[in-house]
A and B are shown apart, each in its own frame.
Chain A
């Protein structure tokens, strides 16, 4: 008996002897942060992770992928009309209140997302410097990302905290959470962009295709310099991009976007890659948000074996349309502009043989509200006309034939730049996710930046030359008249609409408020009393453009809503800056980092 007890005690003593080791924790299934910081390879892994991390922004925010709508969308610019949703309320500035949750869902994830990347780039740059040339390219790439994030924050919030060193628990309490002045922000962005240009390669190896290059860094510096109105730098960087010949415009507009692998066009400087393959992310909703939900209409759905098939490629399938080009944007295109068909889908067709309407003869009518004339249908043949499968659907025809107007969400034109025709599931409902790459920077914008720079630098020939690069590609004869700012602005809209570049352009040129007030949204119906519309003053003394006032020729086709025009009535100059997320003001202390004026 006693022997057995002794054994037990000894056994225990042995186990207890290694108590310290017993309580030591070791990571068993992943790297620790310190492992990553210790080697150039670890830092390289961090830099690679920044791409998918950035990509994850498309799914942050509310269910509509609302951040994606903000980043890569023009919703709060002069180019589009948008429908529905809490986030739409925010975009049309019918504020749901300063501390509302919806604000938190939009601004806060963006702010936090950007600063997360900044935090990581601070670490890569800090630790990478210790490895000298071994990590030079990694540090350059991280510098690109840091400039990219600060540019994103500055363009949205116009106030930010400048952080350039790794933060630890030990040094955190020493931080003073106060906004940086614009000079130091720009100094930092210039430095980072320049370091990126110096360290990034001209081209990437085949297995690195998709990572940023020198040209992307130059474009980024041009964007930053354009904000600073440092036109010499803008022009010089674009000239350098041209001279280095690593990118060139595609031959036609269609070649740019009629593909899923946007990263691989010859004019792409930087695109985020998506794919259904592993590593391709979980998809985004940007594509489907730009596309009308036309297929939900009986008229446009296809009958297959007697069953309605809503995935109808002719009409772009079943989508989730929230944002559409407005009449102002469409009016910027001259006739024959190839981009009208390359970048948009305007005509939807009858596909259901059981719903072929007979269109009454067109009558010239006068709209009671505006006094303007319009035709009641498109049938100018003089006799009622039954449509055929494949005919173009017009809302006013359906309205005249059935007495029911089609919702504007079903009939407004769609931007197809992000339309993903390649990765659709076979059935009707998969269009909620697109796997088309998201374009961030492309050469067309670089050229327009150069045109703008030379315009300001007083070099009309060079300005015109850069302007004509995209203008002639769209099928126009080269422009020979002297370039005006209005022309640059319009070409910017025509070429880059729905790529998320408009906000920056309007804001840095100081015309955001003016343009939004004049053109944002659309009169998709004659306004009810809920919109502060006054026919006598509209476009005369209120700063709006009378040419884009209510127009029956536009709203005869569908059933719109007052909401579509609210933004023109609600916008205030202070809206040009996003509010600092309330949770972040709370976290930093309002005494240190007060809310932006107006909010």
Chain B
């Protein structure tokens, strides 16, 4: 976890708004499909709607890294995202082969985002272990 710098506060607000948008879009999409209100090309648009705020959160992380003026705090966040990406890619690769040989069940692709966020927590822990108090 990084400091409460102005850039971090802006990032948090962006994530809050995007999370709210995600909830609204997801509920709307589920409702639309459940009641067969969307068909044809519109169905593709509605299906993609909940994904857009999640993509936006990745953009918000990128924006945060650009806006963060504290170089040390920025470095911690970069390390966290590298941990998250490495963890997610490794797990996805391992799971992909297990799935390919039908040793495990198939998982929906969007779970990769959940794993990536879990990876961020691992990255935060790695920061804490490697730099101690300075990594809080």
Query: Do the two shown chains form a genuine complex with each other?
Result: no
